[in-house]
Each structure stands twice: as C-alpha cells, then as structure tokens.
Amino acid sequence: MLNRAFTKHFWLMLIPGLVWLFFINVLPMYGILMAFKDFNPGAGILKSPWVGLEHFEYMFELDDSSQVFKNTVTIAFAKMVGNLVVPLVFALMLNEVKNRLFGRTVQTIVYLPHFLSWVIVAGILLDMFSLHGPVNRVLEALGAEPVHFFARADLFPALVVGSDIWKEFGFAAIIFFAALTSINPELYEAAAIDGASQFKRLLNITLPSVLPVAALVGTLSLGNILNAGFDQIFNLYNPAVYSTGDIIDTWVYRAGLINMQYGLATAVGLLKSVAGLILISVSYGLAYRFANYRVF
C-alpha cells in the first residue's frame, strides 16, 4: 500500500541518473551504426551510405590486426597472472609479521602508487629508465652497457607488465588482507598447541583460507583479457615499440581520432565491446556458480 505511493517518488529519484545514463552511456550506442556505414561527417550518421561488413572485412585484411590482438592478449594475460600472484604472496608475507604498526605502515606505503595517475607514473618512469637516467647509471656502475629501455620493442611488454604490477599490487592485496583478518585466530592457537610450526600453519591454515578468494579474483579478472591498459600504454609507448606494444585500444584511438577512419575504428571498437561483454558475463557466471558471488 505505502510502497505504491512511493513508486512515483522512486521514479523522481531515478530521473537525474537516468538522464545522465541516456546521454552519455546510451546515446553513443546509436553511433555503432558507423561500423556499417561509410561515415560522412557532413551528412551525419543516418544519411551516410551503408557499406555492410566492409569495415570488418578490411580489418581482417590488415597486416597489423593479428599482431595488435596478440599484443593485447599477451600483455593482459601477463598482468592478470602477475596481479594475482604478487599481491597474494605479498599479503601472505606481511601476514607473518606480527607487529601491527609495521604492518599498517607497510600497507599505507604500498597503496601509494595506486593513487598516482599513469601520466605521472609514465613521466617518472620515462625519466628513470632514460639513457642517462638512474637505472642506466646503476647498470653502468655494474659494468653493463646502457639500455634504451622504452625504445626496445623486445623489452616493452615486460616494462609494461612490471610497472603495472608495481603500481597495483599493494591495492590489489587489500582483498587478501581482508580474507586473512577474517581467519579465526583459534585455529592458529589450536595448531600451535598441537605443535604445528609457523610454516605448517601457513601451509595448512592461512593458504587454504585465502585460496578461494584468489580463485574468485582470478575468475573475475578473466573478463579483462582484452583490456591491456590503455591509460598506461598510451603514456608509455612510441612508434618504435608498436610491434609489441600496440594494443586494440591504442590502435582504435589512432585509427579513429588521429587518422579519422571513423567507420573502421568503430567496427574494431564494437568487436572488442561485444567480445568483452561476453567474456565478463562468462566470468561473472562462473564466479556466481562456484563462489556464490553476486554483483547485485
């Protein structure tokens, strides 16, 4: 009864958000038509002539499309593994230190890089890894030849993955800290009385308690296998490393907004969006089935 009277007010509350959603999230979906048209800015989307699947066919003929796809998946997969394993190991290491003040201080410090933008991190990294930068100074002191790090296509993926882990591992560990603090301390006490060593306790109590969370995090990250990190690569890459560092998102940016190939860029972006939607749905479905995880 009362709720019926509330319905009108509920709609009023939804309106500001729905307007925002309509203009910025929904309206661009109409622009997807450009993927099937020869877009002419003068004529607008509706009046531009249809070309069917021409853009998609052209995309598969391009030499770099398979390379760009391969780069994307390689970098994204390496990040996925690294951003699961490193935070987990780090959380386990920190969990073994019983001094709370030390633990909290280290946590606060390792969260820091997460709060820096990729512009800033890239600015610092490009400087530190430049030919005359401190990293090369250290190499020099060790008697090695200086390395032009960010101009080397063979090193670029490793630098991207490494710097991403550096930036995010602390923040990604939060979820593991939460799982670790929820372990019942009586388990440890009982194990200690039974004479289990610190290592045995880690192996038989701590690890089994966080593995389900790790499995969940890993499953959810599967949906991101086409997201290699635009903000990061856009700020770090240059033409010399396109062969290993160019990813779908950076390619779409250059094709669409620099070279004005609207139709082609929209087609590639659409393909990525659809694949991403399927991947995320599958990973969420898996997480729901096996871990009873629900987003809403």
Among positions 2-61, residues that touch another protein (CB under 8 A) are 2-3, 6-7, 9-11, 13-14, 16-18, 20-21, 23-32, 34, 45
Query: Are 153 and 240 contacting, i.e. CB atoms less than 8 angstroms apart?
Result: yes
The least CB distance from residue 101 to another protein, in Å, is 13
Residue ranges in 195-214 that form contacts with another protein under rule CB under 8 A: 197-199, 213
Question: Which of these segments, 50-58, 60-68, 74-82, 97-105, binds another protein (CB under 8 A)?
Answer: 97-105
Structure-token pair, residue 74: 């390689």
Helix pair angle (174-181, 156-172), 10° resolution = 40
The answer to the question of residue 222 lying near another protein (CB under 8 A) is no
Structure-token pair, residue 251: 């390619």
The answer to the question of residue 217 lying near another protein (CB under 8 A) is yes
The site that binds another protein (CB under 8 A) totals a number of residues, namely 109
Question: Which of these segments, 60-68, 77-85, 122-130, 185-193, binds another protein (CB under 8 A)?
Answer: 122-130
DSSP code string of 63-86 = THHHHHHHHHHHHHHHHHHHHHHH
The answer to the question of residue 126 lying near another protein (CB under 8 A) is yes
> How many angstroms separate the CA atoms of 191 and 203, rounded?
12
Strand partners, 37: 50
The least CB distance from residue 260 to another protein, in Å, is 10
The least CB distance from residue 142 to another protein, in Å, is 15
Question: Which of these segments, 56-64, 70-78, 98-106, 183-191, binds another protein (CB under 8 A)?
Answer: 98-106
Closer residue to another protein, CB minimum distance, 190 or 274: 274
The answer to the question of residue 286 lying near another protein (CB under 8 A) is no
Output the furthest CA–CA distance in the chain (Å, rounded): 81
> How many angstroms separate the CA atoms of 246 and 253, rounded?
11
Centroid of chain to Cα 154: 22
Question: Which of these segments, 51-59, 60-68, 75-83, 276-284, binds another protein (CB under 8 A)?
Answer: 276-284
Structure-token pair, residue 179: 């799982």
Query: Are 248 and 68 contacting, i.e. CB atoms less than 8 angstroms apart?
Result: yes
| Structure-token match 């699947």, residue found | 53
The least CB distance from residue 229 to another protein, in Å, is 12
